[in-house]
Amino acid sequence: MAVEHNRGFRIVGVFLDIEKTFDRVWHFGLLFKLIDNQIPPALVRTVASFLKERDFYVTVEDATSDPRPISAGVPQGSCLSPCLYAVYNDDIPTLADQFQDWEEEVVLAL
């Protein structure tokens, strides 16, 4: 970016910090995208097993809730979770090819 800036090009950066983004990965959608990206079926089954039958509970002082199923999200702290999140969001459209046509404005539509 510094090289392009020094050559007189405009540099545009859009940075998103999406709150709880790993918690919102839809399991069925992720598995569909793995299949759609021609990931080997054995690996898709492994990921499905990794995501299914996970529960959470809440503890406040001495009280603990009953376990509840987790139907979305990838496990936090797992080295696999960032990769799964990347696959899940891989098809978000980009505007990179259109930047050369823009003079003054950049529009980010979510």
- Of 18-22, 30-34, 70-74, the one with minimum mean pLDDT is 18-22
DSSP class of residue 24 equals G
Considering the domain boundaries, does residue 64 fall inside one? yes
d(C-alpha 57, C-alpha 70), whole Å: 10
**Domain range for 85:** 27-89
Considering the domain boundaries, does residue 14 fall inside one? no
For 35-73, what is each residue's pLDDT tens digit?
999 999 999 999 999 999 899 899 999 999 999 998 899
Considering the domain boundaries, does residue 99 fall inside one? no
Considering the domain boundaries, does residue 11 fall inside one? no
Considering the domain boundaries, does residue 35 fall inside one? yes
Do 87 and 74 form a contact (C-beta atoms < 8 A)? no
Quick one: pLDDT at residue 89? Answer: 85
Considering the domain boundaries, does residue 8 fall inside one? no
Considering the domain boundaries, does residue 41 fall inside one? yes
d(C-alpha 32, C-alpha 26), whole Å: 10
Could you give the number of structural domains in the chain?
A: 1
Of 17, 82, 80, 7, which is closest to residue 48 (Cα–Cα)? Answer: 80
